[in-house]
Every structure is written in C-alpha cells, then in structure tokens.
Amino acid sequence: MALLATTGLLMGVLAPTLAAAAPPAPPPGAGKIAPTLAAGLDQQDTQDFWVHFTERADNSAARDIQDWGERGRYVHTRLTATAERSQAAVRAQLDERGVDYRAHWIVNAILVEDGTAELARTLAANTAVRQLIPTRTYQTPDPIAGTAVAEVDDVEWGVANINADDVWEQYGVTGDGITVASIDTGAQYDHPALVAQYRGNTGNGTFDHNYNWYDAANACEGDAPCDNDGHGTHTTGTMVGGDGATNKIGVAPGARWIEANGCCPSDAAIVASGEWFLAPRDLTDAPETADPAKRPHVINNSWGSGSPTDSPFMPEVLQAWTDAGMFGVFANGNNGPSCRTSGSPGSQTSEYSVGSYDVANQISSFSSRGAGQNGTIKPNISAPGSDVRSAWPGGTYNTISGTSMATPHVAGAVALLWSAYPDMIGDVDGTRLLLNITAINTYDGQCGGDEEYNNVFGEGRLDALALVTAGATGTSRLEGVVRDEAGEPMAGVAVRAEGPVARSARTRADGTFSFQLVAGSYDMTVTGPFGYGSDARTVTVARDTTFRHDVTLTPSERVAVSGVVRDGSGQGWPLGAEVVVTHESGFRAAATSDQETGAYRLAVVPGATYTMTVATGTPGYEPYRATITVDTEDLVRDVDLSVSFACTAPGYEVERDGQWERFDRGTSWRATTVDPRYPGFDGRVGWVFNDPGKRTNRTGGAGGFAIVDSDHLGEKRVQDTYLTSPSFNLTGRQDAAVEFGTDLRPAVNSDASVDLSTDGGRTWTTVWQRTGFPGADGPGSQAVRLPDAAGKRDVRLRFHYEGQWSGWWAVDDVFVGNRTCTPVS
C-alpha cells in the first residue's frame, strides 16, 4: 500500500511533464472487432463470431479455362491453399486453447464457437486478420398465400409469361445438360414433378444421394433429401418441375437438380452450403471427397434478410461461384411497396437480384424496391412471383407468392440459355448482360430510375425466348452523339432502337448515348426536342463490335412573330425592348426591338402556344406578359408598354389631387401604442416628432418628420406602435393612392407596414409591408395604389411598427388622394 501511495504522489508531481507526452499506442488489433460483437461480448461471457482474414485468392485466370471440371478444380485449389496459409497461426492458437471452430475457404474465414472477449482481442492482434464480426441469421421469407391462376395450355402462367414454353417449342431446348441447385429448406426428391429431374435418381427406382444432397441444417433423418417447410420444394419445382403430363410447372424441365438445406438456421449454414456447391462432397462429408467437377451450373437463392447490409461474406461466395462459372441469382425481398426495402444479400451491388410481378404484369405490392447498396438500382430484373403454383411436400401442389417464387424463373431461364448454347456455360457476365438486354422495359419511377432501368422492375420483365434468341446472335454495342446544326451537343434527346430487342435512352449532358444490344438490324429513331426535326434510319450492328451512330438534328420549320413595341400611356413613341417567346418544352426565341422604330421580329415553331414577355431598358415602364398562340402562318403582335405607377419614365409627371402631411407644425395624425405584450414593454414608447436619436431627416423631405427609433430606445424597450391618420374623403377620386418619404433601417426582428381602413377604422388591411430583414429601405419614396379606397367617404391610414432594438423608421411628406401619371410635352 505504501508503494502505491508513493507512486501516486510521484505521478502527481510529474503530471505536467507526462501530459505533454504522446498518448499510449492502442493495443494490437484495436478497431478490428466489430462494435456489435464487442457489445455482445460485454453482455455475455461467450459468443460465436467470425474471424475474417485479409488475404484473397486471385482466380481471374479461371475464366479462360474451358473444361468445366478443370476450371472448378483450379478455383477450389487456390481458395483452399490461400485459406490454409493465412489461417494457420490462428488455427494453431485455437487448437492450443481447445476452442471449437470451423474453418472455411470459400470465404477466408473461421467460425469460432463460444469465443470470449479475451480470445477476440488475442485473435484480432494477428496481422493476417482483417476483422472479427458476429454471426447473423437469414430467413426464407414467409410464403404469401396465393390464388390459383388459370394455366396456359397446361403450362403455369409464369412459365408461359416469360415465354419458356416457346423456347421448348421453337428451339427444342428444355435445359438438358444443365444442373441447377438452391440453398433453401430442402426438397422432396421423390415428388412426382421432381423425381425424374433429381440428379441422384439412378433409374429403376434407386437413388444415390452422394454429391447431390447436403444436409447443412441437420434436419433430415437418414441420408435422403427432405423438406420440412415446403419452400425449397416449391422453388425447385419452378426451376425444373414437371411430370410430363398436366403439371408443367418448371421453366427448364429437362435440367437436373441438387439441393442444400442451408437456409436458414444461420449464416454459417449458408456459407457451408455455398462451399459445398463449389466442391460437392459425398455423404461422409470428408474434405478429401470434394469434387468440383460435380458442382451445379446455376444456384437459386430465395432467401435473405429484411434489410440491406454490407456483410462481406456473400459477395465473396458469389465471387468464388462466378470464378468457377456458376450463376447465382437472389430474391430481392418481400418488404415492399416502400422504396429502399431491398433485402440483403440481393441489395448488394455484386448480387443479381429479382423482383416480382403478377399475371397482369404489374409489380407485386410486396416486391422490395431499391435503391440498394451504394445507390445501386435494385432489383436487377423482375419475374412472375404472385400466385405461382408449384410442387409441395407430400406429392402435392401449392400456390404462393413472393420474390422467392420469382427468382427460380430466372434460374430456369439461365438453364435454358446454357443448354441451348453450351459455349456460354460459365460466362456469368455475358449471361447477366443478355438477361438485361432482353428484359422487357417496364417503367415505374416511384423509387427512381427510368424506362430502361428503375428501382421497381430493374432492367424490366424476364423474357426467356428473347434471351435464348439473343444467345444465338451475341451482343454488340451501339453508341454515338447527338449535336445541333452548330455542332453543339444536345442533352436529353430521346434515342430508341427497335429490332431483336428494344432499347431507349436519353442523351447525356455531352450529347452522348450508348446501348448494349443483341446483334442484328435495328430501326434507330432520334427524336429531337421541340423545335427540331427527328432522324430515322436502319443500322446493322455486328456481333462483338461497337457501332458508331452520330446524328445532327436540324431545326424544324419556323414562322415569324413580329410587331412594334411602343409607349402605351399617352406618348406613343417607339421603344427599344427585349422581346422573349418561350415554350413549356424549354424552347426560347428572343429579339430586341429597334430603338428608332420599335420593330422586332423573331422565329418560332408553328402550331404551338407560347409565353411572351417584353421588357424595355428605358426606366419607368411595366413589363409585359401574355400568352400567344402561333398557327401555321406568321403572327403580328404589337405591344404597348404602360408607364409604371412610380411615374419615373421620361416624358411623364405626377399629378396629385389630395392632402399632404409634412409634420412641420403640429399634426392631426395620432401616435398610439397597444397594450403590453412583451416583458419590459414601456407604454410611453411610440411614434414621436422630435428626433430623439438625432437621425436627421433622411426621408427625402425637409423639416419635421415622424420617427419610431428602436435603436435609440435600446434593448429593453419593445415597440408596438401606430401612427394613425385623420379621415380622408375620397369621393370622386378613382386613382386613390398613398405616397410617403421613408427612411427604414430594419433588422431581423422588426416589422413595418402601412394599413388601410375604408370603414372609419373598424377594420384594417395591410397595403405595404417590410418584415424582418437586415439592410435598408430608404431614404426614398414609396407610392402605393389604394383601389379599395377609391370613391370612399371615410378613409384612414396608419403606419405600424414592431421591434426591439432593431433600427428605426422615419416617415415624412405623406400624400393621400388621387395620383396620376400624365404625359408632358
């Protein structure tokens, strides 16, 4: 204890010196433990968590390997080698401590079971470790009850809607040679609509489940596939189902299927399933039995979270699948109709996700919408997902709805494409491109995007026939720039290509446009904006090339709008003015009238209605605004500009007939204040005539004036004060007005107004006001028309000021009566 006390004393003495020293270095691994994991370990002694490593295998060369088995083995070998090398030290630590864990290679990560906070800190200190994150759960969306929809020639409506049956008929392709799979709840392998397509069916009523079934959830008795939910059986049926008779429920009934029930006890089961699919193992699950040559071609993922996430695992799994040539497709979620409801992993940029529509080609109300991760358009594509009938456990059938039901339509369509063109097997990027290009454009802008690509339908509605047709011809690129006759780029111009597929876009700010297309012949239409013609021609784009199509748009026919701009208040002389004609489309034509003659002339597009404005540089005239309709011939429109009420135009003077108040000797105007409404209100504060703040008369008048001086009265004095006139008889006066000299220095908390009463002061209307802004409104003169006072017998005015330590307002030379602007020689 004495030693501790002495140490404390020394620390107190040395504090000034130590305070200047550098702060202690953070412990190794600080910042690698996810905050959510750290919080969980604070609340409980142990928790499962992932140790995620930094090193990644480079499998880019795999895409050049043509042999399916060799490509898979190459990716598997590099992934496992990378994981073993980078995880070695951490595995040794875990083994030494006797910690249970499972090491993975499809994601370079280890799942630690019942890890402690101390263990997490120790592992985070390893330089090979990127981060430690908690486990998470996903789920198969709860099925939404559906209503049976009439079949189309014994084909389910969704299969017919995407034209899969037309692919069977026109190309003789049903998916032969392709294996599809899904991470789901399992599947009834001996269902009448699935048993023939199960890859484990060896014929003669016998089955071999090795390499064809992975019980990731440990949910099935024995070694055979099962489905305790129904979801997986249903999605598998939509991919490949059919009994050859009346139950044509699958898009690719000639394909084979395998299954893993990794959805959805945990992310661990999903990662394990994704790993098993890349290198399937036999029923012993021994690593040495892994055979990448037996991996499926297409993997359906009708599961996810209820919200977007940037979890690192699924993008890594998908990258490994893609490197190995496996096409993964994901449901976008059932959290619509609001925007930004796309669920992960479908919401992630790397995943290809699917939205749902109904038999009327309308988006399903439940279908989740984008945007997704980093603002990415989501979903990528849409497919039938409402009221989908498919297989159900017990050898039955069921009709349900969800993006889970839409996603296997896309998986089946990819199976048809790869079956028809085996040279496309493994070309994931090219297949995504063909899906996008051949989708039927469907506009819905509620969550952002355009006809080509929006956050409701994505690229549009799936079309399997167009997809397979496009596979034969290949893809190409069409690009160009649209310019006007002067060579300037034109933005926002509509460009459309109609041919094997239909694509449309608008030019960018630099006038450019571009399309990915199926190779072939297209009718190209460039529709110019208002005032320009269009360009239409046929172009042929060859496979694997870029075709350049530049367009120059010329102005369409014009007619003239002409006339003379004159003074319209009595002098009648010509005026130089700017004449502008605008159209709602953004079209604008302008001309300046001649100063000597007033003549102007400009050209516009015939057959349209325009807004015409005329403003002269000569001071004192009101601007002119009118709507004009131009038919097919020239239009003559003369314009007479009126002198403004201020009467400052050359050749005019003000004539007044009324009464003046100059505040020089006494006044019949009455200064009053209202009842106190503010703390510190002083009832003596108000309008005065003796200039207590020594401002001098800066209203433009001379001699005495009225003022309320808020600055002079100070911070603690609040003003709410009126300067009220006597009664004025304006009988017979039709040009009634009030005019006054003013020097207003307002502030943010001040309010100055002029009010009018035509009933002897019983009711008041504000006719002029300046409210709460810093700056100055004076010295100067204000003139205000009083049309409501014309011809009235008992007219009164009042100057009203509210403020607190907020400038001042001085008024002088108040005129009330007729005020007209008349021409002079």
**Contact, 171 vs 420, CB < 8 A?**
yes
Angle formed at CA 310 by CA 304 and CA 313, multiple of 5 degrees: 70
Among the listed residues 292, 323, 433, the one whose alpha carbon sits nearest the alpha carbon of residue 65: 323
DSSP 8-state code for residue 290: -
- Residue 642 is classified by DSSP as P
DSSP string, 347-389: TSTTS-EEEEE-TTSPBPTT------GGG--S-SEEEE-SSEE
> DSSP readout, 4-47?
HHHHHHHHHHHHHHHHTSPPPPPPTTTT-B-HHHHHHHHHSS-E
Pairing label, strands 298-301, 327-331:
parallel
Q: Using alpha carbons only, what angle is made at residue 519 by residues 513 and 522, rounded to the nearest 5 degrees?
A: 65
* CA 483, chain centre distance (Å): 29
Overall size of the chain counted in residues: 825
Q: Between vectors from CA 266 to CA 264 and to CA 268, what angle results, nearest 5°?
A: 120
Is the separation of the CB atoms in 220 and 186 below 8 Å?
A: yes
Between the CA of residue 74 and those of 61, 107, 233, 455, what are the distances in Å?
9, 16, 32, 37
CA distance 423 to 414: 13
DSSP-derived pairing of the beta strands 808-823 and 475-483: unpaired
Distance CA 352, CA 326 (A): 12
Q: Say which residues have a Cβ less than 8 Å from residue 437's Cβ, sequence separation at least 6.
A: 470, 475, 501, 503, 516, 517, 518
Using H for helix, E for strand and C for coil, what is the string for 648-716?
CCCCEEEEEEEEEECCCCCCCCEEEECCCCCCCCCCCCCCECCCCCCCCCCCCCCCCCEEEEHHHHCCC
* Helix and strand numbers, DSSP H then E, in the chain: 13, 42
Task: Find the radius of gyration of the CA atoms of the chain.
Answer: 41
Contact 524, 539 (CB under 8 A): yes
- Measured distance CA(282)–CA(290) in Å, rounded: 7
Q: Which residues are catalytic?
A: 184, 231, 404
Which residues are bridge partners to 546 per DSSP? 477
Q: Which amino acid is at 36?
A: T
Give, for 756, the enclosing helix (H) or strand (E): strand 751-757
In degrees to the nearest 10, what's the CA dihedral of 608, 611, 612, 616?
A: -160
Residue found under tokens 């499998």: 59
Residue with tokens 């020394």: 10
Q: Which two tokens stand for residue 669?
A: 């105007």
